[in-house]
C-alpha cells in the first residue's frame, strides 16, 4: 500500500481573493512503511505526479530503508536494497523533483521501539511511540538513522531535511526525563522537548550545513516564547503546518497558531491566511 499526501507551499495575494491563490510548490509525501511498492511502480508514480504539477517529494522510509549496523536486523523483509533506493532517488532527480527525506525523531518511532532490544528506550514501556528524550543512547538511535539516510540522500541533493516531530503525545515520564525536568527552573517539560529538537536540528546541520531543517508544527506550538528563544528554535527549524482540511481556506481555526509561529520563527513563511504578506507556508492535506 502506498500512502501519499500533499505538502503545498501556498501563496495568497494581498487582495484577499482566494481565487487567485496559487501554490509555488507541490510536494507529495510518500509514507513507504507497511507494504512498500516496487521501484518500477514508484518510478511510474513519480512521472505521473511530475506530469500533474508536483515539484518535489517527501520520502518517509522508516524500516524500508536499507539500514546497516545497529538497525540491520530490524529492516523490513520487504524493504528496499541500496541499489533500489538510489535508482528511485536518481529517477526523481532526473525528473527535477526536490527530494526531501523525513526521519522521525520525536514521536512515531514504533519502527525502532517495537523491537525487543530497543524497548528500554521507550518513554513508556506500554507504548512504543516516543523515545526517552533525556537518554543519550536513545537519542543516539535517532541520530544514527539520520546519518545513514542523509549519507545516501546527499548524493542527490538535500535542500530540506524533515525531522518529523508530530504527535508526541507523551513525554517527560521516563526516569531520565523526570530527573531532567526536576532540574529545570520551572520544573516543566517544555525545555526537554525544545532541547531535544534543537539538538536534532543541529545534528542535521552538522551533516548537511546548507540544508534547511523542517519539523511538523504541532509540538512546536506548545512551547513558550521563552523556551523557543532560549533554544534558538526560530533559527534552527522551519515549522511545517499539517492539517486535514479539504482546502487551506477551511483552516480558520488555525489562524492564531499560524500568526504565532510566524512571530516566533523568523524563517517560518507565515500562514496561508496571512494575506497581507507574500510569504509562504507548507501545508499538508490528504489526497
Mapping DSSP to helix (H, G, I), strand (E, B) and coil, where does residue 57 land? Answer: strand
Closest CA to 201 of 189, 217, 215, 220: 215
Pull the grid cell for residue 284: 499538508
Closest CA to 282 of 237, 228, 225, 233: 237
Q: Which member of 47, 84, 167, 170 is catalytic?
A: 167
- Is 87 labeled as catalytic in the residue annotation? no
d(CA 110, CA 61): 13
Pull the grid cell for residue 169: 503525545
524533515: which residue's cell? 162
Measured N-to-C along each axis, helices 39-51 and 82-94 cross at an angle, to the nearest 10 degrees, of 20
**Cα–Cα distances in angstroms (integers) from residue 179 to residues 132, 172, 199, in the given order:** 12, 9, 19
Neighbours of 15 (CB within 10 A): 9
Closest CA to 215 of 190, 244, 243, 237: 237
Q: What residues are annotated to the active site?
A: 167
Amino acid at each position: 500500500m502506498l500512502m501519499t499526501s500533499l505538502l503545498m507551499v501556498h501563496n495568497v495575494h494581498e487582495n484577499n481573493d482566494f481565487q487567485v491563490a496559487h501554490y509555488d510548490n507541490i510536494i507529495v509525501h510518500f509514507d513507504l512503511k507497511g507494504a512498500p511498492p516496487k521501484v518500477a511502480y514508484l518510478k511510474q508514480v513519480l512521472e505521473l505526479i511530475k506530469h500533474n504539477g508536483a515539484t518535489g517529494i517527501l520520502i518517509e522510509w522508516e524500516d524500508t530503508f536499507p539500514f546497516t549496523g545497529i538497525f540491520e536486523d530490524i529492516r523490513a523483509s520487504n524493504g528496499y536494497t541500496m541499489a533500489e533506493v538510489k535508482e528511485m532517488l536518481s529517477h526523481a532527480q532526473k525528473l527535477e523533483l526536490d527530494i526531501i527525506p523525513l526521519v522521525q525523531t520525536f514521536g512515531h518511532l514504533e519502527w525502532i521501539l517495537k523491537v525487543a532490544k530497543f524497548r528500554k528506550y521507550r518513554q513508556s514501556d506500554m507504548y512504543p511511540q516516543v523515545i526517552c528524550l533525556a537518554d543519550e543512547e536513545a537519542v543516539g538511535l535517532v541520530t544514527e538513522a539520520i546519518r545513514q539516510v542523509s549519507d545516501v540522500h546527499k548524493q542527490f541533493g538535500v535542500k530540506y531535511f524533515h525531522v518529523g516531530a508530530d504527535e508526541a503525545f507523551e513525554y517527560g515520564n521516563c526516569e531520565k526525563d523526570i530527573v531532567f525536568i526536576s532540574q529545570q527552573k520551572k520544573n516543566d517539560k517544555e525545555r526537554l522537548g525544545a532541547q531535544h529538537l534543537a539538538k536534532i536540528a543541529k545534528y542535521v546541520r552538522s551533516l548537511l550545513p546548507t540544508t534547511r531543517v523542517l519539523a511538523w508544527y504541532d509540538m512546536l506550538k506548545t512551547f513558550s516564547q521563552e523556551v523557543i528563544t532560549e533554544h534558538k528554535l526560530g533559527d534552527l527549524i522551519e515549522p511545517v503546518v499539517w492539517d486535514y482540511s479539504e482546502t487551506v481556506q477551511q483552516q480558520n481555526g488555525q489562524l492564531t497558531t499560524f500568526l504565532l509561529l510566524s512571530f516566533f520563527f523568523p524563517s517560518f513563511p507565515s500562514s496561508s491566511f496571512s494575506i497581507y504578506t507574500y510569504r509562504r507556508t507548507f501545508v499538508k492535506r490528504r489526497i
